[in-house]
């Protein structure tokens, strides 16, 4: 598993091409003699179960990793794909292809029309994200792969990953959409339209017929400048440029370059003109704007009705092009259909480009998630040691007791799951299907890297998407006293789970009583080692308080266990128990 930001890998790769005789498109046209440019990294295993399709963003290409033998340039995701990296080519067979409509080897508007021998230009049919994925499916079948271990990509690549999971549910074990959306907002469409208008307003565009003359370089450069602004963030631009002047000490009082940021954007625009086709810009941005995963369904959630994949959804705090709320819309839809989904919002100042730039934490999460998916796909039975008693394995005595209460093979939701230690143990030793909810971003990352599906959210806000009785057991371990509305949380637990297991520290313990009696101050003991102004505890409950609440709510206490030190205690629990563990169900 990658644990630090790796250097770009240096293996040499060749871009390959395959041609398919026909591709039916969503617009009703059938495209003939379709070329696909692609690269592969690593080796396909004997049962062809380790293939991962990596999907590029808007202006990407097939060259995702290593060093191109043709250009000498590194791939756009070389820090993520390679030996011992997130997409570990010692374990996985990774495939990357240029999208339909592109200009880097796959058929697009700059390709020759078989009927005329001339570039398609604007005679190229309008395409969709679904068309791109349909062509990728032909490529995967050509490579002899029936089911992908995962599809993964950022931005437009994430849209394709979602489309794969919906359009071909039997062909995908897992999907990893990063900094993506299930459909464009009005603002996102607006930015794309500005870029398209800049291109079409350039006199050199010539209605798209510029391939034997001068390309619309000025329009395409402006389109790229606008787009590039959306890929960055205010913080990253402030840090990188501020208001620094470019090669001068004072304003020029003209319209030449004054600021560093102006020079940077002009450079980015001019470089883009050298490697991208203006008509491809028009077609691909339109495909992105057309994308709506919910189209043809009653809701976004309904679009996932046939989906079987596990999901890892990642977003970034400073991404204002595809903000976190759009990832959460997808996560909410997945959870409402009972699908296995992990979600984390990663902290970054790089804006939308973070998925390409800041790969350390992303790598740890992706590596752990993929290892877990591969284990599920190739699982051959119980984990050695699974028959050991829970107390012999757990560090925390209450975890051991919770482990005893959980039935093998159960569906489990752990609220405030921390780094996923309990869920990982239950997965490995009781083969549970577990999910967690945790608000601490660092703990969420550790849990997902451990292969546990965790949703980053406040517990008090994070259960509404789950249907009734989604789980056999809902667990809340030593967190109840920190909830603002504990009764609301307990009711939600008993709504989404057949049983609720609640562990909490007993404020009726004799040391707490004694400390309060002797000092006359807020008790500070080994059990509660906090000053009153730093304590995470909001509510102070005892064993008797909890039993009284269960009677009041008409909940059935199925089992109760008490911890004293690291041992189970049975005597006078309200006085001697340090931690109480209750199993409940609704009447």
Catalytically active residues, by annotation:
155, 319, 352
SS3 content of the chain, % helix, strand, coil (to 5): 35, 20, 40
Residues facing 584 on adjacent strands: 500, 557
Spatial contact of 25 and 128, defined as CB atoms under 8 Å apart: yes
Question: What are the distances in angstroms from CA 518 to CA 455, 512, 536?
Answer: 43, 10, 23
Query: If you count DSSP H runs as helices and E runs as strands, how many of each does the chain have, helices first?
Result: 18, 20
Spatial contact of 253 and 95, defined as CB atoms under 8 Å apart: no
φ, ψ (nearest 5 deg) of residue 169: -60, -25
DSSP string, 80-127: TEETTSSEETTT-EEEEEPPTT-SSSS--TTSBPTTTSSB-GGGSPP-
Spatial contact of 507 and 472, defined as CB atoms under 8 Å apart: no
Beta strand pairing status for 411-415 and 433-438? parallel
Measured CA to CA, the distance from residue 388 to residue 398 in angstroms comes to 16
The residue among 581, 178, 587, 559 whose CA lies nearest residue 399 is 581
Measured CA to CA, the distance from residue 21 to residue 27 in angstroms comes to 18
Only one residue has tokens 């039993």, namely 547
What is the number of other CB atoms lying within 10 angstroms of the CB of residue 461? 10
- Give, as one character, the DSSP assignment of residue 348: -
Beta strand pairing status for 497-505 and 433-438? unpaired
Spatial contact of 299 and 183, defined as CB atoms under 8 Å apart: no
Measured CA to CA, the distance from residue 77 to residue 73 in angstroms comes to 12
Question: What are the distances in angstroms from CA 291 to CA 160, 168, 175, 269?
Answer: 9, 16, 17, 26
Measured CA to CA, the distance from residue 165 to residue 255 in angstroms comes to 50
- Give, as one character, the DSSP assignment of residue 505: E
- Hey, what long-range contacts does 248-256 have (CB within 8 A, 24 or more apart)? none
- E-assigned strand segments in 367-452: 411-415, 433-438
Only one residue has tokens 């450069």, namely 221
The residue among 365, 402, 381, 368 whose CA lies nearest residue 499 is 402
Measured CA to CA, the distance from residue 462 to residue 472 in angstroms comes to 18
Measured CA to CA, the distance from residue 587 to residue 584 in angstroms comes to 9
């Amino acid at each position: 598993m990658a644990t630090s930001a790796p250097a770009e890998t240096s293996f040499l790769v060749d871009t390959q091409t395959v041609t398919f005789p026909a591709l039916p498109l969503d617009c009703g046209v059938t495209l003939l003699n379709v070329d696909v440019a692609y690269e592969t990294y690593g080796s396909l295993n004997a049962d062809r179960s380790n293939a991962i399709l990596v999907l590029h963003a808007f202006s990407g290409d097939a060259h995702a990793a290593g060093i191109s033998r043709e250009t000498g340039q590194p791939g756009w995701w070389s820090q993520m794909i390679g030996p011992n990296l997130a997409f570990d080519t010692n374990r996985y067979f990774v495939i990357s292809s240029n999208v339909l409509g592109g200009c880097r080897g796959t058929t697009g508007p700059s390709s020759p029309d078989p009927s005329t021998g001339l570039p398609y230009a604007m005679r190229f049919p309008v395409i969709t994200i679904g068309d791109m994925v349909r062509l990728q499916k032909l490529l995967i079948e050509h490579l002899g792969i029936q089911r992908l271990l995962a599809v993964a990509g950022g931005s437009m690549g994430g849209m394709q990953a979602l489309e794969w999971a919906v359009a071909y549910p039997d062909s995908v074990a897992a999907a990893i959409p990063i900094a993506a959306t299930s459909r464009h907002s009005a603002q996102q469409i607006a930015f794309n339209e500005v870029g398209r208008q800049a291109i079409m307003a350039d006199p050199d565009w010539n209605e798209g017929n510029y391939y034997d003359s001068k390309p619309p370089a000025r329009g395409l450069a402006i389109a790229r400048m606008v787009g590039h602004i959306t890929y960055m963030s205010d913080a990253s631009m402030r840090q990188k440029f501020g208001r620094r002047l470019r090669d001068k000490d004072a304003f020029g009082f003209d319209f030449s370059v004054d600021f560093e940021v102006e020079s940077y954007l002009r450079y980015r625009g001019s470089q883009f003109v050298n490697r991208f086709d203006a008509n491809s810009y028009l077609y691909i941005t339109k495909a992105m704007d057309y994308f709506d995963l919910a189209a043809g369904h009653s809701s976004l959630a309904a679009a996932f009705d046939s989906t079987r994949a596990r999901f890892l959804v990642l977003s970034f705090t400073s991404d204002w092009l595809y903000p976190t709320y759009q990832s959460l819309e997808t996560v909410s839809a997945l959870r409402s259909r009972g699908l296995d989904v992990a979600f984390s919002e990663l902290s970054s100042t790089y804006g939308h480009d973070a998925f390409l730039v800041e790969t350390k934490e992303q790598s740890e999460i992706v590596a752990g998630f993929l290892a877990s998916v591969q284990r599920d796909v190739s699982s051959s039975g119980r984990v050695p040691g699974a028959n050991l008693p829970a107390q012999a394995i757990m560090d925390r005595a209450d975890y051991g007791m919770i482990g005893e209460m959980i039935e093998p093979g159960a569906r489990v939701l752990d609220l405030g799951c921390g780094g996923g230690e309990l869920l990982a143990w239950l997965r490995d030793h009781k083969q549970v299907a577990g999910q967690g909810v945790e608000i601490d971003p660092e703990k969420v990352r550790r849990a997902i890297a451990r292969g546990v599906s965790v949703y980053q959210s406040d517990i008090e806000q994070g259960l509404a998407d789950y249907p009734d009785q989604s789980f056999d057991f809902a667990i809340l371990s030593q967190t109840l006293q920190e909830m603002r509305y504990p009764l609301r949380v307990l009711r939600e637990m008993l709504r989404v789970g057949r049983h609720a297991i609640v562990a909490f520290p007993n404020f009726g313990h004799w040391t707490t009583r004694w400390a309060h009696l002797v000092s006359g101050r807020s008790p500070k003991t080994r059990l509660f080692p906090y000053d009153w102004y730093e304590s995470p505890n909001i509510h102070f409950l005892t064993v008797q308080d909890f039993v009284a609440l269960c009677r009041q709510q008409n909940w059935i206490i199925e089992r109760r266990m008490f911890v004293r030190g690291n041992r189970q205690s049975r005597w006078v629990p309200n006085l001697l128990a340090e931690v109480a563990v209750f199993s409940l169900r609704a009447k």
